[in-house]
Amino acid sequence: MKYTVTDNAGLTSNQATISIDYNPLATLSGTIYDDNNAGTPDGTTLSGVTVTLYNNGTSVSTTTDASGNYSFSNIIPNYYYVSVSTPSGYNRVSSTDASPTDVNHLMYVGSSNITGVNFGLNKAPVAANDSLNNQTPGSAATVSNILSNDSDPNSGTLTKDSISLVAPSGATAITTDAQGDVTGFIVPNQGTWALNSSTGAVTFTPQSGFTADPTPIKYTITDNAGLTSNQATISITYTSVPDLTPVILLPINAMNTGDSRDFVVRLNEIRNVATSAQIAFSISVPVGYTLTFLRYRYQNERTAIE
C-alpha cells in the first residue's frame, strides 16, 4: 500500500510504499511402511494409517493413501509433534534421525517443505506349540526344528538362531548365546533342556532315575525387526513303565478248538502296604484266542465282565 505525509506548511510528500512479507507456508509429508528389518523404514507401504500433527493443544489428522503416503500442507513455521496411530497388532520399529523411532516425533517446520518423515511398523511373529510323544522312558528325546510351525504375519524371515528358551523358575545352569538368547538349562530333579541354534531342535535329557514326563517349557522367537513372539510350549511325553510284567505261558497243543482255561493273577500287598493308585492292566492275546474277564463272588460262581 502507499501513503503520503503533509507538513505544517500544507505541503504533501510523494507517495511511499508499505510492504509486508510473509514466510511461505510449508508442507510436511512422509510414508508409513510395513518394515520387516527395522533400521531405515522400507518394505511394503501401509494404507489407511492415521497420522496426526500436534501444536499447542491443537491437532489435525490425515490417513495414508493407497501408496502409504501422508501429507500436511499450509503449515505455519513452528515446532510440531507427528504422531502415528499404530494399527491393531502393529508395533513401531523404525530407527534413524530422519525417520523417527518414537511414534510421537517432535520436529521444527520452517519455510521449506519437509519430506521423508517416514515411519516403520511391523507385527510380531507367531510361535506355535510343539510336542513329542511316546518316548522311551529314561532316554533323551529331541523335538526337531521347533521353528517349522512358527510364522511371521508380515512374510518376514524367521531364523533359528533367534529362538530363545524361557528358563522356568528354579532352573539352574542357564546358558545363553552371543545374542543373549537362552539356549539351555537344568530343571532340578528332572533333567536338562538344550537348544541347537543351528537346527532349531530342542533336546531333553532326563537325569538318572527320572522316567516321568518333564514339565513343559516355553520359548519365543524374535524376527528381523526386533519384535518377539508370544510364548509357545514344548511338551515331551514318555510311555509308562509297568511295575510288574507277568507272563503266562501255555504249552503248545495244550488246547483244542472250543476249549477254555482259567488263569488267575493275584496281586498281594507287600508288608501290608496298600497301593495308593489304581492298577492298570495291559494284556496281549495271541492270534486266534479270545479273552474274557470273570468276576468271582463265590466258589464256582463266575460272572463275565462286559
pLDDT band at 276 (very low <50, low <70, confident <90, very high): low
Listed by start position, the domains of the chain span 26-122, 130-238
Are 26-122 and 130-238 the same fold in CATH?
A: yes
Residues linked to residue 92 through DSSP beta bridges, in sequence order: 121
Instruction: Say whether pLDDT at 261 is over 90.
Output: no
Q: Tens digit of pLDDT for each residue in 150-160?
A: 999 988 889 99
pLDDT digits (tens, 9 = 90+) for 242-252: 666 666 666 66
- What's the pLDDT at 304? 44
Topology of domain 26-122, CATH: Immunoglobulin-like (2.60.40)
Choose among 21, 12, 11, 84: nearest CA to 53: 84
Share of the chain above pLDDT 90, in %: 48
Q: Which three cell numbers stand for residue 98?
A: 530422519
The CATH architecture that domain 130-238 belongs to is Sandwich (2.60)
DSSP the chain: -EE--B-TTS-B---EE-----PPPEEEEEEEEE-SS-BS--SEE--S-EEEEEETTEEEEEE--TTSEEEEEEEPSEEEEEEE-PPTTEEE-B--SSS-SSSEEEEEE-SS-B----EEEEEPPB---EEEEEEPTTS-EEE--GGGG-B-TT-PPP-GGGEEEEPPTT-EEEEE-TT--EEEEEETTTEEEEE-TTT--EEEEEPTT--SPPPPEEEEEB-TTS-B---EEEEEEEPPPPS--------TT---TT-----------BTTB--SS---------TT-----EEEEETTEEEE--
Task: Give the rounded percent of residues in the chain with a pLDDT score beyond 70.
Answer: 77
Q: How confident is the model at residue 42 (pLDDT cuts 50, 70, 90)?
A: confident
* Beta-carbon contacts of residue 66 (< 8 Å; ≥ 6 apart): 47
Query: φ, ψ for residue 246 (rounded to 5)?
Result: -75, 145
pLDDT level of residue 166 (50, 70, 90 thresholds): very high
Query: For residue 137, which phi and psi values (nearest 5 degrees)?
Result: -55, 140
Phi, psi of 265 (to 5 degrees): -115, 120
Amino acid at 50: T
- Rg of the chain over Cα atoms, rounded to whole angstroms, equals 38
Q: What's the mean pLDDT when you consider all of the chain?
A: 84
Instruction: Name the pLDDT band for 272 (thresholds 50, 70, 90).
Output: low
Amino acid 238: pLDDT: 93
Interatomic CA distance for residues 149 and 256, integer angstroms: 56
Match 501513503 to its residue by C-alpha cell.
3
Distances from the Cα of 177 to the Cαs of 124, 147, 191, 197, 268, in angstroms?
A: 22, 17, 20, 9, 54
Split at pLDDT 50, 70, 90, the class of 99 is very low
Per-residue pLDDT of 45-66, as tens digits, reads: 999 999 999 988 889 999 999 9
**Per-residue pLDDT reduced to its tens digit, 64-94:** 999 999 999 998 888 888 888 889 999 888 7
Cα 218 to Cα 201: distance, rounded to the nearest angstrom: 14
Which pLDDT score is estimated for 303?
A: 47
More confident residue, 12 or 282: 12
The confidence score (pLDDT) of residue 56 equals 83
